[in-house]
Structure formats: structure tokens, C-alpha cells
Chain A
């Protein structure tokens, strides 16, 4: 059974620092991996999707890498801002258009 782990569960950094969020999965046979952002009491906003054939994806200050062989993905957020405070979740897509297996998330606080 695929298990997805996110460490740490919570993270607090001062504004301007780079954020590094980790996601690990036990079975490398994934189709895609997706990173989401969730604000308190809100839905999930898709940030980046990395296809299994890709090594990384970038969008603005966000960069996500994928290493299937080691079962890891890392989300980098450059020059963090207070508005980046949220919970970040990763999820692996097990097969095309199929189910997602979620990690429990990393709660991020960026202090001014």
C-alpha cells in the first residue's frame, strides 16, 4: 500500500527565508505527484503537478523536484512571504486519472 509522508508537520520561518518542504512515498510506481496549498477552512489549490517522467516543475517562486527512485519530492518556495503561510500537501497519483494518496501536510508560518 502506498504511503505518503510529509516531514516536518509544522514549520515556522522569518520572512525572506527559503522554504523547503519534503514529501516521501513508499512505492515508486506513481503516475504523477501533485502539490497543493490549503488555507485554514478552505479548499485545496493546486500548485504544481510533476509528471513521473519529469524531474522538476517551476512556477514563479515555487519549484518542485521529483526523484522516483528514492521516493522523494521537494517543494522549494523562494524568498518566503507572510502570504505563503498555509498548509502544503503533497499527493501521488497512482495511475492515469486515478486516485490520489495524500500526505498529512506541512503547516507553514512565515513571520514578518
Chain B
């Protein structure tokens, strides 16, 4: 099984619908992230969480919200989806860097492809 699992892997929805993308991890990491990927733009950070009670906005958080239900679960919601939110969404995890043997390396899920019509 994958260490970082995203569901659903593919979703087609209509403008105005509420969508939730879910992420779960078995790596035991405290830190979790949501990125979106658009052609030619690379990956951009939407939200990140350093522990269950710590949630922070990334560079493109408008139109999105998140919930950290447990150390292993981090969900991304689009309250009212719009076509320019069509993208490939990635969840990632990391352990805190700076500790012995820990480099802060990130591990990614397989991605969730969202299409908003």
C-alpha cells in the first residue's frame, strides 16, 4: 500500500458543487501539505499543517479550506468549485527537519485529478 493515499483519484464535477479531496498517510509524519499543479506553473502550495492544531495558508488558499482530522488525515475542500480550480492536486507529508537523521524530505501521494465543468 502507498504511504500517502489520496481519494478520489479522479473527479469530474460542476460549477458550484462542494468537493472534498482526502489524504491519509502511514508514514507517521506530523507535517502535511496540499499542492495544486497546473501545466507550466509547477506546484503551488494551497495549505499546510505542522500538526493537528496548526493549519496555515499557502500561496493560493483562496477558494479552498482544509481540515486536519487526525495526524494521519488531511482533507482539502472546495466549497463552491469553479472551472479555474481544474487541476491536479497533490498531498504531501514530511517529518520536521533539523533533527538527527531527518532531512525534511517530502513524500507525495499519487494525485487527485479534478475537473470542474
Contact of B40 among A89, A98, A104 (CB under 8 A): A104
B15 → chain A closest CB, angstroms: 24
- Which chain A residues (12-44) contact chain B, with CB distance < 8 Å? 31-32, 34, 36, 41-44
Decide if A99 touches B58 in the complex (CB within 8 Å). yes
Provide the residues of chain B in CB contact with A93, threshold 8 Å: 97, 104, 106
Whether, in the assembled complex, A83 has its beta carbon less than 8 Å from a beta carbon of chain B, the answer is: no
Provide the residues of chain B in CB contact with A34, threshold 8 Å: 105-106
| 30 A-B residue pairings within 8 Å (CB atoms) | A32-B103, A34-B106, A36-B108, A41-B88, A42-B110, A42-B111, A43-B109, A43-B110, A44-B92, A45-B108, A49-B103, A89-B43, A91-B106, A96-B96, A96-B97, A96-B98, A96-B104, A97-B50, A97-B94, A97-B95, A97-B96, A97-B102, A99-B33, A99-B48, A99-B58, A100-B43, A100-B45, A102-B35, A102-B42, A105-B42
Provide the residues of chain B in CB contact with A32, threshold 8 Å: 97, 103-105
Residue on A nearest B110 in the bound complex, by CB: A43
Complexed CA–CA distance, A34 and B98 (Å): 15
B100 → chain A closest CB, angstroms: 12
A26 → chain B closest CB, angstroms: 15
The tally of residues in B whose CB lies under 8 Å from a CB in A reads: 31
Provide the residues of chain A in CB contact with B109, threshold 8 Å: 43
Decide if A99 touches B104 in the complex (CB within 8 Å). no
Provide the residues of chain B in CB contact with A42, threshold 8 Å: 110-111
Contact of B90 among A43, A103, A105 (CB under 8 A): A43
A90 → chain B closest CB, angstroms: 10
Whether, in the assembled complex, A58 has its beta carbon less than 8 Å from a beta carbon of chain B, the answer is: no
Query: Known contacts being A96-B96, A102-B43, is A43 close to B111, with CB within 8 Å?
Result: yes
Whether, in the assembled complex, A46 has its beta carbon less than 8 Å from a beta carbon of chain B, the answer is: yes
Query: Known contacts being A93-B97, A98-B97, is A44 close to B90, with CB within 8 Å?
Result: yes
B39 → chain A closest CB, angstroms: 9
- Which chain B residues (28-53) contact chain A, with CB distance < 8 Å? 31, 33, 35, 40-45, 48, 50
Whether, in the assembled complex, A81 has its beta carbon less than 8 Å from a beta carbon of chain B, the answer is: no
